[in-house]
Structure 1
Amino acid sequence: MGRWVIPEVYPLLGAMAIVGGMVVFSLGRHVTMNPDVRISKEGRKQAVLDNADEGERYAEHGLRKFLRTRTPEIFPKLNRFFSDPEKST
């Protein structure tokens, strides 16, 4: 068994575990919350879906509402420091 335990593989296994967790989370979110996915038989019978409010709730989630009020900058304080002419003396 000692021959199969290679310490150099541990970071790769860790990265693959993180990516696998992200995939499971994404698939679970889409299956349970996406308004276009119908798992029950009653939901699949409908030819035309009348679910505009459900789609709106799905598209306008909390993270998107939070980020809408923010400026699209990665380092706002650093940008202000270098762009303010009074501080660059």
Structure 2
Amino acid sequence: MASSAVNRWLRPEVYPLFAAVGVAVGICGMQLVRNICTNPEVRIIKERRAAGVLENFEEGEKYKEHGLRKFVRNKSPEIMPSVNKFFSNPN
């Protein structure tokens, strides 16, 4: 019984599915850790929770303006710009 399940799911055709699901789970895990560790509104330590609502705009701005957002800010919203330019600007 277990052998047939292994033979069914461990085929080379299924590897891309495992890779896609693995990447999605990795991205979700990374975002979860980022929110727990660096989000100014999430407080795990009891002493920090007792502080109540803080108006710490600098920390919130630092959280919002992370490195990926700064990197893509001035980029064009295209997935493959060279292919788009090739088909939209014929010579």
Normalising by structure 1, we get a TM-score of 0.73
- What code does the residue aligned with 2:35 have? H
- CA offset at residue 3 of structure 1? 4.7
- CA offset at residue 18 of structure 1? 4.1
- CA offset at residue 23 of structure 1? 3.1
- Percent of aligned positions with the same letter in both sequences? 45
- CA offset at residue 22 of structure 1? 3.3
Q: Pairwise CA RMSD of aligned residues?
A: 2.4
What stretches of structure 1 of length at least 5 have no aligned partner? none
Number of residue pairs the alignment of both structures matches: 85
Task: Note closer, same or farther for the CA distance 1:18–1:9 as it changes in structure 2 (3 Å cut).
Answer: farther
What stretches of structure 2 of length at least 5 have no aligned partner? none
Normalising by structure 2, we get a TM-score of 0.72
Higher helix share: 2
Q: How is 1:1-89 mapped onto 2 (pairs within 5 angstroms)?
A: 2-6=3-7, 8-10=8-10, 11=14, 14=18, 16-85=21-90, 87=91
Q: State the structure with more CA Rg.
A: 1
**Could you give the per-residue CA deviations for residues 63-87 of structure 1, whole angstroms, max 9, x where no partner exists?**
11110110111221122222224x1
